[in-house]
Chains A and B, each alone.
Chain A
Amino acid sequence: MRKSLLLLILVIATLINAETLVIKGSNTVYPIAQLWVEQFQKMYPNVTATLEGAGSSTGISALLNGTCDIANSSRFLKAGEVEQMHKNSRYFVPLVIAYDGIAVIVNPNLGIDSISIETLNKIYTGQITEWSQVDPKLPKKTIAAYSRNTASGTFEVWLEKVLKGEKLSPRIQMLESSQAEIESVAKNQYAIAYTGMGYVTSQVKALKVEGIDPTIENVLSGKYPLSRPLFVFFDLSRFNNMWPENNVIADYIRFILSPEGQKLVEKAGYIPAYGTSK
Chain B
Amino acid sequence: MKWFFRLTSYAVLILMFSVIVLIILPGVRYFFRPGFFTDFPRASMTEGGVFPSIFGSLILISLVFVIVIPVGLLGSIFIAEFSSKRLSVVLQSLAGTMNSIPSIVYGLFGLSFFCVNLGLRTSLISASLTLSTMAIPFFINSAVEFLRSVPKELREGVIALGANRFETTLMVIRSSKNGLLTTLMLTLGRAFSETAPILITGAVFYATKLPSKLTDPIMTLPTSIYAIIMNLGETARWMAQGMASMMTLVMIVIYSIVQILRRRTNG
Contact = CB atoms under 8 A, between A and B. Distances in A.
B207 A12 contact: no
B122 A67 contact: yes
A20 B217 contact: yes
B122 A41 contact: no
B54 to A, nearest CB: 10
A50 B208 contact: yes
Contact of B208 (A15, A37, A66, A201): A37
A8 B233 CA distance: 33
B42 A51 contact: no
Given A18-B213, A49-B209, A51-B206, 18 more contacts: A4-B58, A5-B66, A8-B59, A16-B212, A30-B231, A34-B44, A34-B45, A37-B208, A40-B208, A48-B210, A49-B207, A50-B122, A52-B204, A52-B227, A65-B115, A68-B121, A179-B233, A180-B230
Contacts of A126: none
B212 A22 contact: no
Q: How large is the interface on A (under 10, 10 to 19, 20 to 34, 35 or more residues)?
A: 35 or more
B99 interface: no
Contact of A48 (B66, B212, B231): B212
Interface in B204-235: 204-217, 227, 229-233
Interface in B98-136: 111, 115-116, 119, 121-122
User: Which of B116, B121, B232 gathers most chain A CB within 10 Å?
Assistant: B121
Nearest to B117: A65
Contacts of A24: 122
B122 A68 contact: yes
A96 to B, nearest CB: 23
Nearest to A5: B62
A11 B210 contact: yes
Contacts of B207: 48-51
A52 B203 CA distance: 8
5 contacts: A1-B62, A8-B59, A34-B206, A50-B122, A50-B217
Contacts of A27: 231
Nearest to A46: B209
Interface in B28-85: 42-45, 58-59, 61-63, 65-66
Contacts of B212: 11-12, 14-16, 18, 20, 48
Contacts of B121: 22, 66-68
B59 A4 contact: yes
A146 to B, nearest CB: 14
A208 to B, nearest CB: 24
Contacts of A5: 62, 66
User: Which of B59, B116, B204, B215 gathers most chain A CB within 10 Å?
Assistant: B204
Contact of A18 (B42, B209, B231, B233): B209
A65 B116 contact: yes
Nearest to B201: A67
Interface string A35-51: 10110110000011111
A69 B119 CA distance: 13
A48 B216 contact: yes
A15 B209 CA distance: 11
A225 interface: no
A41 B59 contact: no
Contact of A67 (B42, B44, B65, B116): B116
Contact of B231 (A50, A67, A177): A177
A18 B210 CA distance: 11
B208 A49 contact: yes
A215 to B, nearest CB: 21
A79 to B, nearest CB: 23
Contact of B42 (A8, A30, A38): A38
A229 interface: no
Contacts of B61: 1, 4
